[in-house]
């Protein structure tokens, strides 16, 4: 039985080494297509996911469909765009609130709870 365990351990090791070495093979990366009008800053790869600061700032600047038109924040948006163009500094804010209610809870505990998160994002350099 000891001999069978040694063989099984050896075979398991071989299989794990083969599986682990699979992603180690390099592949050639295709040359990026040079698009006219795109700066080197915009071509650089970015860290983070869809909620990365740079991606949030870009999505905030994009025009969106609205329910009704208002000019309440136009002067602020113009001022913010001017800072971005002249100084290379961009910023944005967001607030997420939540509320929880329980239909049943332990005696002596709260049935309801709420909280929130304020997120301030900024970016620098040629945005």
pLDDT in the model for residue 116: 94
pLDDT in the model for residue 98: 93
Going from the first residue of the chain to its last (127 residues), give the mean pLDDT of each consecutive group of 10, the final group possibly shorter.
Answer: 80 79 57 61 64 73 76 80 82 86 83 88 64
pLDDT in the model for residue 77: 78
| Domain-wise residue ranges, the chain | 55-62+76-101+112-127
pLDDT in the model for residue 127: 42
pLDDT in the model for residue 45: 62
**Using CA atoms, how far apart are residues 53 and 59, in angstroms rounded to an integer?**
10
b/e burial code for range 106-123 (CB count within 10 A of at least 16 → b): eeeeeeeeeeeeeeebeb
């Amino acid at each position: 039985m000891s001999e069978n365990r040694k063989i099984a351990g050896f075979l398991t090791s071989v299989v794990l080494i083969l599986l682990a070495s699979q992603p180690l093979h390099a592949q050639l990366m295709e040359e990026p297509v040079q698009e006219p009008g795109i700066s080197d800053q915009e071509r650089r790869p970015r860290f983070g996911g869809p909620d990365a600061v740079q991606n949030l700032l870009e999505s905030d600047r994009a025009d969106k469909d609205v329910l009704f038109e208002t000019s309440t924040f136009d002067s602020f948006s113009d001022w913010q765009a001017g800072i971005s163009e002249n100084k290379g500094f961009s910023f944005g804010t967001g607030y997420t609130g939540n509320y929880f209610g329980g239909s049943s809870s332990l005696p002596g505990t709260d049935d309801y709870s709420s909280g929130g998160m304020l997120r301030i994002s900024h970016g620098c350099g040629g945005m």
